[in-house]
Amino acid sequence: MTDSTEPTGSTPTQSPRNFIQSLELDTRLLGMIGAFIVIAIGFSIATGGTFLTPRNIFNVTIQTVSVAIMATGMVFVIVTRNIDLSVGALLAISSAVIAMVQARWLPGYFGLEYGSVWIAPLAILSGLLVSTLIGAFNGWLIGYQMIPAFIVTLGGFLVWRYAGWYLTDGQTIAPLDSTFILLGGAEGTLGEFWSWVVGGLASIFAVWSVYNARKNRVSHGFPTKPMWAEYTIGGIFVVAIMGFVATLNAYDIPKGKLRRMFEARGEVMPDGFTQGHGLPISVLILIAVAVVMTVVARKTRLGRYIFATGGNPDAAELSGINTRLLTVKVFAIMGFLCGLSAIVAQARLQAHTTDIGTLDELRVIAAAVIGGTALAGGAGTIYGAILGALIMQSLTSGMGMVGVDSPLQNIVVGGVLVFAVWVDIVYRRKTGDV
């Protein structure tokens, strides 16, 4: 009945373990990365190397962002044993609001001139507000009124897209504010220098995180990984971050566009001047979302309650967790992220169209599920969902490049979804995870 059995200071000796186990990496993550590498190399061979050019990597990246942002929110929704079929419709209505605010209402009713610095922020805020409120409303119907999430969001799937249709009278709205379209991808990038700076800071942060996690465990006398494993993990992070930045920097901005950029500043482009795109602002938004959502999932009470509720709703309630309010919060977060995706998607297309985000609900759910989120609830990761979105987009883009026509593309993507979930089920059965 004393504390003497507690390991203090010395770490317990561990049985010899193999390379992968020592790194303590998630085997599911390794599987997904493996699948992604196979897809990338396969398409690279099939396209004679075009698939893995900096240009295509850049394009696939910016095409992934919108679905990936929403997929991180879908993880929380599915982890709490719910589903959201209305994310594409929420994206559409907030896109409609954003477009109307910047192109019609602010200039029309409030007399702001086109090009005013206020247009983009106000449009963005109204879009985020609308989608967050609709998300919270969905959550209220589900949590407090006990209507199944499937029904609420199936209804929302029809309601919100066409509510957006009435806002714009079914019109395509363009052109958009010039500041706003910087958020879409190719139009707004950091350039080479600042991309290196961001990459460097991210690398330092990654190494610091690894160091800090170890220091924390040592200070409590908990078992730790071998030192070489920590170095390997840190090294992988740095190489991956810097490699990504180098690739995006290697994709040069076209000459004509560069010349216009110089002319816009009243300068003349020097001969032989080149400049890489670097990190797109939309990718920075996705990275910020990924970091914040991961911190929420792992390090906040909200995240802890989301996973506890998914694992055992009764236990969560008996522990004093307000699971109804939690549902509202989860769907409000989902709504907010739909608004964010609307900004990125609309800015990338440089127009609001009534069919923006069509079928995104299925892509988002597929990304989360391919990324290891269990529909039974209680399990899922943010990085998995983003990787899932990237795998889906790579498949679609790659097939497009190879010349697979669009009906067959859909057949393949559908098949891959079912196959991925089957592999996951077999894996869980083998390892005993649920």
Size of residue set near another protein by CB under 8 A: 36
In sign, the C-alpha dihedral spanning 276, 281, 284, 286 is negative
Q: Which of the ranges 4-12, 142-150, 275-283, 398-406 carries the binding residues for another protein, by CB under 8 A?
A: 4-12
Q: Measured between alpha carbons, how far is 75 from 85 in angstroms, rounded to an integer?
A: 13
| Closest distance of CB 340 from another protein, Å | 23
Q: Which stretch binds another protein (CB under 8 A): 5-13, 148-156, 167-175, 346-354?
A: 5-13
Query: Which CB sits closer to another protein, 110 or 222?
Result: 222
Residue 1 found at the interface with another protein (CB under 8 A): yes
265 near another protein, judged by CB under 8 A: no
Q: Is the distance from CB of 335 to CB of 93 less than 8 angstroms? A: no
Q: Which of 13, 220, 227, 271 binds another protein (CB under 8 A)?
A: 220
Q: Which residues contact 411 (CB under 8 A, 6 or more apart)?
A: none
Segment near another protein (CB under 8 A), from 36-44, 319-327, 339-347, 351-359?
A: 319-327
Q: From the CB of 128, what's the least distance to another protein, in Å? A: 23
Q: Which of 379, 385, 392, 399 binds another protein (CB under 8 A)?
A: 379
| Cβ closest to another protein, residue 130 vs residue 308 | 308
| 3-state secondary structure labels for all residues of 322-357 | CHHHHHHHHHHHHHHHHHHHHHHHHHHHCCECCCCC
Q: Is 307 in the site for another protein (CB under 8 A)?
A: yes
Contact region with another protein (CB under 8 A), list: 140-148, 175-183, 297-305, 414-422: 297-305
Q: Smaller CB distance to another protein: residue 122 or 293?
A: 293
The stretch among 117-125, 157-165, 307-315, 326-334 that binds another protein (CB under 8 A) is: 307-315
Among 142, 183, 321, 334, binds another protein (CB under 8 A): 321
The CA–CA distances, whole Å, from 113 to 39, 142, 325 equal 48, 42, 42
The span of 68-76, 118-126, 214-222, 344-352 binding another protein (CB under 8 A) equals 214-222
Instruction: Tally the C-alpha atoms within 13 A of residue 258's C-alpha that lie toward its C-beta.
Output: 16
Under the binding rule (CB under 8 A), the answer on residue 428 touching another protein is no
Residue 20 found at the interface with another protein (CB under 8 A): no
157 in contact with another protein (CB under 8 A): no
Q: How far is the CB of 284 from another protein (least distance, A)?
A: 23
Q: Confirm or reject binding of residue 10 to another protein (CB under 8 A).
A: no
Residue 5 CB, nearest approach to another protein (Å): 4
Site membership for another protein, residue 9 (CB under 8 A)? no
If one asks whether residue 378 binds another protein (CB under 8 A), the answer comes out as: yes
Which of these ranges, 27-35, 80-88, 139-147, 293-301, lies near another protein under the rule CB under 8 A?
A: 293-301
Q: Is 434 in the site for another protein (CB under 8 A)?
A: yes
In whole angstroms, what is the distance from residue 428 CA to residue 434 CA?
Answer: 6
The three-state secondary structure class of 374 is coil
Contact 282, 378 (CB under 8 A): no
In angstroms and rounded to an integer, the radius of gyration of the C-alpha atoms of the chain is 23
**Phi and psi angles of residue 417, each rounded to the nearest 5 degrees, phi first:** -60, -50
- Shortest CB 353 distance to another protein, Å: 41
Q: How far apart are CA 343 and CA 287, in angstroms?
A: 15
Query: Least distance (Å) from another protein to the CB of residue 225?
Result: 12
**Sequence-ordered list of residues with C-beta below 8 angstroms from that of 61, at least 6 positions apart, any chain:** 248, 280, 283
Give the interface segment with another protein, choosing from 130-138, 311-319, 356-364, 411-419 (CB under 8 A). 311-319
Q: How far is the CB of 396 from another protein (least distance, A)?
A: 32
Between the alpha carbon of residue 251 and those of residues 80, 254, 277, 279, the distances in Å are 41, 9, 6, 10
Structure tokens given for 434 = 């649920």
Q: Which of 11, 209, 319, 406 binds another protein (CB under 8 A)?
A: 319
Burial of 294 (0-12, 13-18, 19+ CB in 10 A): middle
Cα angle for residues 406, 408, 414 (degrees, 5° grid): 105
Query: Where does residue 272 fall: left (phi above 0), alpha (psi -120 to 50 degrees), or beta otherwise?
Result: left
Q: In this structure, are residues 208 and 7 in contact, taking their beta carbons and an 8 Å threshold?
A: no
Residue 316 as a binder of another protein (CB under 8 A): the answer is yes
What six digits make up the tokens of 223? 């078992």
- Which residues contact another protein (rule: CB under 8 A)? 1-7, 216-217, 219-220, 222, 295, 299-301, 304-305, 307-312, 314-321, 378-379, 432, 434
